[in-house]
Amino acid sequence: MTHENGSPKVTLLSWTQSPVETIYRIWESSRGQRSLNEIDKDIYLGNPRVYEIFKQVIDSKLPVSENLSFVFLLENVSISFREQMVRHRIGVKAGPLLGIDMIPDLADSTWWSQTMRVLDMGAFADEKRYRVPDGLTPEQEDEFHVAMKVSQDAYNRLVKAGIPNQEAREVIPLGATHRITWSLNLSALQHIVGKRGCQIAQLGLWRPVIEGMVDEMSSKVHEYFRTLISPPCMKGDKYTGCLFKIENDRRIDGTDQYPPCTLCVGQDHDNRTEAVPANQRVAFMESFHRYRALWQRDPLTGERLK
């Protein structure tokens, strides 16, 4: 995918061959006694039922989806992002920790990361190998860059004094970026996108990675995967209520500094923009356009765009 300098870049390295046909063969083999040759005739003759079965099985989130696997290379992702990514499990449920309650025995993701134990971080600030948080004022952003340079200088002084990289790295900030490979099956991917497709669940951190994964899958594998991103409060095309209402209420009353979810404002507050704190309305409108492009839905109603 195309990306701005320093922003996350996602590359799909490999995937299950012929995913539509694979799901169809698995499904049809489990539902009757037809031979594989007979099932394959549907594929070779271009039967539209092949794609319809594929879509229905995937949309239903049946375990059959676990037979499709994808390997991604993520570049320019921060340590803070990695800390969130490795918490995800198939058994994650929405809870007081905003969707990171874990059921580890259902893990179905594998990671392999660059390690700062051996990776030279002596120029990470000069090379802008770090993530700058959204929403900083120009003055705050200048201060942030200075802090990165201070950390780099401290790291270099320690290394010059003979401290091994693996010890000196402790001064490197969470915003420093690196590479990591991520292997996961479609069930795990659906789960993660379903949870992190929410504005409240730190989508600002996750959005470029989710967008990159879906862009790569839809362009390299099948256009169907463009529909994977959807807010978790939407079931099909129906809004079912905010999963993080307490957090949204804090944003509406100004306790939280971030803008509220557009869907929450549209559905739970009768589409009243005056419900958004005055100092958050510019950021709210920016998120309106950003999530319209991400979800391919109306950000206030949840309806799919034509």
The residue-averaged pLDDT of 94-123 equals 64
- Percent of residues in the chain assigned helix, strand, coil, to nearest 5: 50, 15, 40
Lowest mean pLDDT among 22-26, 61-65, 82-86: 82-86
Give 235's strand partners.
Answer: 238
Q: Would you place residue 88 in the very low, low, confident or very high pLDDT band (cuts 50, 70, 90)?
A: low
- 201-252: pLDDT as tens digits: 666 678 889 889 999 999 999 999 988 877 888 887 889 888 888 888 888 8
Q: What is the mean pLDDT of residues 140-149?
A: 96
- Cβ distance 55 to 224 under 8 Å? yes
Q: Spell out the domain ranges in the chain.
A: 9-115+179-232, 119-175, 238-295
Q: Tell me the average pLDDT of the chain.
A: 85
| DSSP 3-state of 196 | helix
Say if residue 91's pLDDT is above 70. Answer: no
Give the burial class of 208: count Cβ atoms within 10 A of its Cβ; 0-12 exposed, 13-18 middle, 19 or more buried. Answer: buried
Q: Residue 93 — pLDDT band, cuts 50, 70, 90?
A: very low
Three-class SS of residue 236?
Answer: coil
Cβ-Cβ contacts under 8 Å for 194 (sequence gap 6 or more): 230, 232
More confident residue, 93 or 65: 65
Question: Rounded to the nearest 10 degrees, how much is the dihedral formed by the CA atoms of 172, 175, 181, 184?
Answer: 130
pLDDT of residue 22: 97
**Residue 192: its pLDDT value, please?**
82
| pLDDT over 90 at 159, yes or no | yes
pLDDT in tens, 171-201: 999 999 999 999 999 988 888 887 777 877 6
Higher pLDDT, residue 141 or 109: 141
Type and span of the H or E element at 184:
strand 177-185
pLDDT at 263 over 80: yes
pLDDT for res 105: 35
| Tokens 């299950």, residue located | 16
A 10 A CB-CB count for 123 gives 12
| pLDDT at residue 72, as a whole number | 96
Residue whose structure tokens are 């079931």: 235
Q: What are 174's two structure tokens?
A: 């969470």
What's the pLDDT score for residue 100?
42
The model's pTM is 0.81
Q: Cα–Cα distance between 256 and 254 in angstroms, integer?
A: 5
Strand partners, 181: 73, 112
On the question of pLDDT at 3 being above 70, the answer is: no
Element (H, E) at 14: strand 9-15
CATH code of 9-115+179-232, in short, is 3.30.1360
Positive or negative: CA dihedral 147, 199, 61, 218: negative
More confident position, 157 or 133:
157
Q: Is the pLDDT of residue 106 over 50?
A: no
More confident residue, 288 or 239: 239
What is the secondary structure of 79-143 as a DSSP string?
HHHHHHHTT--TT-B--TTSS-B--GGG--EEEEE--TTTS--TTTTTTT-BPPPTT--HHHHHH
